[in-house]
A and B are shown apart, each in its own frame.
Chain A
Amino acid sequence: MKPFRKLSAAAAPLPMINVDTDVIIPKQFLRTIKRSGLGKSAFFDIRYNEDGSEKPDFILNKPAYRNAEILITGANFGCGSSREHAPWALLDFGIRCVIAPSYSDIFYNNCFKNGILPVVLPQAQIDELTKEAEENPGAPIEVDLEKQVVTRGNKFSFPFEIDEFRKHCLMNGLDEIGLTLEKKTFIENFEKKQKEQKSWL
């Protein structure tokens, strides 16, 4: 996993609430057995017309936002299905950071496993960021994970909260399985005890 420390990049505003994972990556793309290659299909139904041509109004189709690495969006982003294809698709498109007032639990978790930082900010600050990204298309926004702050030059600086363990893993690109396997003895002891106490399991 690629570590996430600091990002200075264009931000695309997608001011919609309840953007579900079916919208982020529709079902027909879940037939893949790989993690890569989903970027071109991200937001498929709202990004392309039936004939496969791009919808010019969709934010990520507009020239100034095509290379956006930050997505600014509405509450409950990533709700619905647990498909990790959603963060895979965002990452493959080039999105490294999502900023929203809230996320679904599973999507939020899945982001951290893929080097994507999901930032939570209050709606009022999201509104300011959205306005900024709309008025100055392509102007970079800075996200600093170590300092836990989103800034735009000296226009604003919004601090955010994040779980320490998740921050540590994301900043160092750590493999969680490797970390857990270091606790193998604890797992073995647990299994031994469980076998004695709950013989039916």
Chain B
Amino acid sequence: MKPRTLFEKIWDEHVVHRTDDGTCVLYIDRHLVHEVTSPQAFEGLRMARRKVRRPEATLAVADHNVPTYDRSLPIKEEESRIQIETLSKNCAEFGITLFDMKDKRQGIVHIIGPEQGFTQPGMTIVCGDSHTSTHGAFGALAFGIGTSEVEHVLATQTLIQKPAKTMRITVDGKLSPGVTAKDMILAIIGKIGTAGGTGYVIEYAGEAVRNLSMAGRMTMCNMSIEGGARAGMIAPDETTFKYIKGRPMAPKNDNWDKAVAYWRSLKSDDGAKYDVEVNLKAEEIPPLVTWGTTPEDIVPITGSVPSPADFADPNKKKSVERMLEYMALTPGTKMQDIVIDKVFIGSCTNARIEDLREVAKIVEGKKVAGTVEAMIVPGSGLVKIQAEEEGLDKIFKESGFDWREPGCSMCLGMNSDQLKPGERCASTSNRNFEGRQGRGGRTHLMSPAMAAAAAIKGKLTDVREL
């Protein structure tokens, strides 16, 4: 048999039907649902008098729109309240398990899937959210879909798909102190560009990837979509199995042994061919920050704001001019001289317990700069409880951070957590698009450690010098 990549193995295992032109009906093992991209899908089912084919393979949670203030208070925005109530009604009507706002397991959809053991190696996993690529960290094929496809999966437990091309990104060597998974993925996006992965599924490999915790692997796979790839994946190993074991929805007893035996086969065969290979050296990656309004616009924290003249492509040059104007930055300004107004630590990229521990290490005994408003939004209710058991919340509060309830929060600012026009934010989230965190808001993406350092200094800061 021809050597196959991890992607090809999982794909082949899930083909329900294939037509001559290569179009496949692909089986979907797990479906995550949230309040923003599902109401129209459920409405579609109702109109066509269709049922949810496998409610038990579906898990729902409210995350995008939930307030991060006191949960005992009513939701101020009426539309948000209606959307969240609609999710509850739909889940009750169609028999889907829902973690509602009062549930301690509630949190960001891409944090709770892995946390519950719902996410497992070898699965096909979808969600009406582009950051579904996160779950690929477990060696699953996981990708974001639109609402019409959400409806398709609810009704049929399948999707109509054609296989993607494959790209392997190998990061050899060891990361330097102060450099994290976030820097690695930012470096990758900087190298391949925001559309470099379009049409591909990326497999991350190499020593630096292998050495990451599951949290780090999730951070990397999460941002695959920012490089244009719908899915990113990492072959499962002992780190993966150890993480999953004992989680509420993980396989138990005999099934655990059977599952692990299968999971061990989930790695690319020697000699498997990828359409594209990309290589990076971990030692060459410094702490990175973004300066523009796409995630490919990265620069080392020790660097300066670039000039349109640095770019050859006329379209990019024009876009750089626009970005500098939007970001109110002048070419040549040292990144470390850029003063910030807000710090956001959270999102499906970086709101896990490991991220919060990183932040606590840096801010313990220090104060958030007087000019900065800084907030920490844990990724789930369980992350919040864990952090409080470890006393991290005390460290944060004593430093001057606002410690919030879980949700997507200021990553996309659908609730009231937003930047005001002109405000500049050091953010651990995944997108620095114009207006993403609030109309006129200016976002610099970075790792939790770097965002913590920025909070203390009041400007973009090299965490290695703090």
C-alpha gap A105/B194 in the complex (Å): 12
Which chain B residue lies CB-closest to A165? B23
Contact present for A183 and B17 (CB under 8 Å): yes
User: Is B80 interfacial (CB-CB < 8 Å)?
Assistant: yes
- Interface residue? B294 (CB, 8 A): yes
Do B433 and A23 have beta carbons less than 8 Å apart?
A: yes
User: Bound state CA distance, A179 and B159, in angstroms?
Assistant: 11
Q: Say whether A27 faces chain B, with CB atoms less than 8 Å apart.
A: yes
User: In the complex, what residues of B have CB within 8 A of residue A33's CB?
Assistant: 39-40, 43, 82-83, 86
Pick out which of these stretches binds chain B: A61-69, A74-82, A139-147, A154-162: A74-82
Closest chain B CB from A87 CB (angstroms): 8
A103–B151 alpha-carbon span in the complex (Å): 23
Taken together as a complex, chains A and B put the C-alpha atoms of A113 and B294 apart, in Å, by 27
B256 and A200: CB pair below 8 A? yes
Smallest CB separation, B227 vs chain A (Å): 10
Chain A residues positioned under 8 Å from B435 (CB to CB): 22-23, 26, 45
A17-B319, A30-B414 known; A75-B79 Cβ under 8 A: no
> 1/0 per position for B22-65, CB-CB distance to A under 8 A?
01010101000000110110010000101001000000000011
Find A183's partner among B16, B86, B436 (CB 8 Å cutoff).
Answer: B16
* Residue A35 interfacial (CB < 8 Å): yes
Residue B308, interface by CB 8 Å: no
Q: A79-B194, A177-B48 are in contact. Are A106 and B230 (CB under 8 A)?
A: yes
Residue on A with the closest CB to B323? A18
Closest A residue to B253 by beta carbon equals: A200
With A and B bound together, what is the CA distance between A181 and B154 in angstroms? 12
Distance (whole angstroms) from the CB of A108 to the closest CB of chain B = 9
Whether the Cβ atoms of B155 and A181 lie closer than 8 Å is yes
Is A28 interfacial (CB 8 A cutoff)?
Answer: yes
Asked whether, in the complex, the Cβ of B198 is within 8 Å of the Cβ of A26, the reply is no
- A residues within 8 A CB of B48? 177
Q: Tell me if A128 is interfacial: C-beta within 8 Å of chain B.
A: no
CB distance B21 to A164 under 8 Å? yes
Tell me the chain A residues, 105-149 only, with Cβ under 8 Å from chain B.
105-106, 109-110, 113-114, 123
Contact A106 B130 (CB under 8 A): yes
**16 new A-B contacts at CB < 8 Å, known A84-B147, A176-B152, A183-B25:** A16-B322, A20-B431, A20-B433, A23-B435, A27-B436, A81-B431, A82-B128, A102-B195, A106-B230, A109-B149, A114-B148, A177-B151, A180-B155, A181-B155, A187-B53, A187-B156
Binding site for B on A (CB under 8 A): 15-18, 20, 22-23, 26-28, 30-35, 45, 50, 74-76, 79-84, 87, 102-106, 109-110, 113-114, 123, 163-165, 176-177, 179-181, 183, 186-187, 190-191, 194, 198-201
User: Contact residues of B with A, CB < 8 Å?
Assistant: 16-17, 19, 21, 23, 25, 27, 29, 36-37, 39-40, 43, 48, 50, 53, 64-65, 77, 79-80, 82-83, 86, 120, 123, 128-130, 144-149, 151-152, 155-158, 160, 162, 194-195, 198-199, 225, 228, 230, 251, 254-256, 258-259, 262, 294, 315-316, 319, 322, 412-414, 421, 431, 433-436, 439
In the assembled complex, 21 residue pairs joining A and B whose CB atoms fall closer than 8 Å, in A order, are: A20-B431, A22-B412, A22-B431, A31-B36, A31-B414, A33-B40, A34-B39, A82-B128, A82-B145, A84-B40, A84-B146, A106-B230, A109-B145, A113-B148, A163-B23, A163-B162, A165-B21, A180-B155, A180-B158, A190-B27, A199-B255
